[in-house]
């Protein structure tokens, strides 16, 4: 069967990507502006013998997702701002227990109830550090409807491959865009599955080390004994507070992401090779930045764009390389400078400029172009 083209809403593309990736369980609670993900999952999952449950709140939603994943199903939830805040404890639990799952967070204005129908990019740092303690996380930030589809599939694949929660983080505008998307046939979609344990119960350790630092998982019904706890634990799953063993256990779950960055990192580059002014942006701000860069190039200004598709782990090497020849790095974002903190850490505050909006309106190409002209004139 060949690929087809469809006109899709961003949140609908997310649901279709999840189904294509093999998601068969969704638990969630309606919240603007992510509710369409749940609505489409409620329609699509029964068609593939999947299960959709509307939970009583976001805390229970992610708890159900973790349980379903431990039961062997590829599982997902979707939320926004306040709901994502409620999920943080269970997100940390999924990281500690190395439970594959996907969390969709459609960003809106905040804090608190904020502006439910308005776009923002204020969850950049929360996506990385929202749960307490040092924990592994993978975060993708798509900037188009088609990329929502493909990155949702990639989120499931890497969640399974690295036994980690993966967050797909995009803003309200991208969520509610309608664009033409090329959908591959079922046979063309590459999917990944977790490593299943084999052998006898006696020699199975649910958190044993491996060459890629990712333990195999027990398939429900295979007879392996599994102890799951959010406490720091030994390879057999039972708790420990011995400093040397705790150190080893925690470093492994962090290192499994770091040493596999070649499989995780992804950026988009636009005219970065000779850029005198480099823009680093995500989501709808990156789309505006690309248009601004095209306009400024026609005016003779050497402007380029680096867009992190993988937002966390942050693409440090790509940023440093792209910024080497640049005189300045501009970070336009719909928050008060969350990603700019990472750029300042990598290239220095003196070389970093900011452009921020928190009024519920997107940053426009004209605003970015005006800011760059101002910087170029100095």
Phi/psi for 26 (5° steps) reads -135, 130
Distance between CA 117 and CA 355 in Å, rounded?
22
Q: What angle do CA 52, 53, 57 make, to 5 degrees?
A: 140
- Confidence bin at 286 (pLDDT 50/70/90): very high
- Confidence bin at 192 (pLDDT 50/70/90): very high
> Which has the closest alpha carbon to 288: 324, 320, 231, 331?
331
Per-residue pLDDT, averaged over 199-205, amounts to 78
Per-residue pLDDT, averaged over 282-300, amounts to 98
Asked whether 258 and 313 are in contact (CB, 8 A), the reply is yes
Biggest CA pair distance of the chain:
71
Percent share of the chain, pLDDT over 70: 99
Q: What structural domains does the chain harbor? A: 4-188 (3.40.50.970), 268-376 (3.40.50.920)
pTM of the model as a whole: 0.97
Upstream peptide bond of 287 is cis (omega within 30 degrees of 0): no
Quick: pLDDT tens for 217-242: 998 888 888 999 999 999 999 999 99
Distance between CA 152 and CA 148 in Å, rounded?
6
Per-residue pLDDT, averaged over 72-98, amounts to 98
How many residues are listed for the chain in this entry? 378
- Confidence bin at 1 (pLDDT 50/70/90): low
The predicted pLDDT at position 221 comes to: 84
User: Is the confidence at residue 316, as pLDDT, over 80?
Assistant: yes
Asked whether 330 and 290 are in contact (CB, 8 A), the reply is no
Per-residue pLDDT, averaged over 77-104, amounts to 98
Per-residue pLDDT, averaged over 140-148, amounts to 98
């Amino acid at each position: 069967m060949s690929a087809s083209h469809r006109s899709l809403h961003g949140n609908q593309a997310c649901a279709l990507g999840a189904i294509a990736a093999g998601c068969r369980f969704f638990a969630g609670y309606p919240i603007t502006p992510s509710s369409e993900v749940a609505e489409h999952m409620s329609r699509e999952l029964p068609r593939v013998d999947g299960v959709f449950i509307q939970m009583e709140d976001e805390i229970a939603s992610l708890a159900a997702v973790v349980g379903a994943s431990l039961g062997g199903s590829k599982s997902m939830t979707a939320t926004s701002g306040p709901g994502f805040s409620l999920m943080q404890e269970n997100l940390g639990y999924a990281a500690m227990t190395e439970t594959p799952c996907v969390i969709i967070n459609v960003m809106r204005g905040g804090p608190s109830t904020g502006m439910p129908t308005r776009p923002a990019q204020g969850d950049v740092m929360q996506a990385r550090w929202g749960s307490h303690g040092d924990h592994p996380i993978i975060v993708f930030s798509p900037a188009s409807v088609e990329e929502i589809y493909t990155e949702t599939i990639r989120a499931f694949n890497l969640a399974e491959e690295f036994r980690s929660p993966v967050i797909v983080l995009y803003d309200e505008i991208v969520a509610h865009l309608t664009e033409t998307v090329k959908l591959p046939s079922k046979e063309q979609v590459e999917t990944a599955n977790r490593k299943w344990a084999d052998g006898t119960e006696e020699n199975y350790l649910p958190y044993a080390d491996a060459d890629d630092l990712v333990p195999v998982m027990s398939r429900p019904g295979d007879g392996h004994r599994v102890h799951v706890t959010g406490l720091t634990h030994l390879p057999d799953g039972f708790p420990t507070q011995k400093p040397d063993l705790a150190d080893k256990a925690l470093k492994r779950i962090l290192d499994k992401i770091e040493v596999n960055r070649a499989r995780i990192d992804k950026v988009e580059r636009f005219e970065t090779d000779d850029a005198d002014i480099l823009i680093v942006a995500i989501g709808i701000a990156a789309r505006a930045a690309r248009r601004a860069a095209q306009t400024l190039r026609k005016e003779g200004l050497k402007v380029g764009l680096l867009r992190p598709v993988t937002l966390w782990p942050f693409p440090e090497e790509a940023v440093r390389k792209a910024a080497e020849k640049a005189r300045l790095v501009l970070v336009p974002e719909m928050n008060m400078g969350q990603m700019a903190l990472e750029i300042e850490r990598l290239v220095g505050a003196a070389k970093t400029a900011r452009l921020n909006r928190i009024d519920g309106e997107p940053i426009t190409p004209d605003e970015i172009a005006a800011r760059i002209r101002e910087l170029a004139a100095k």
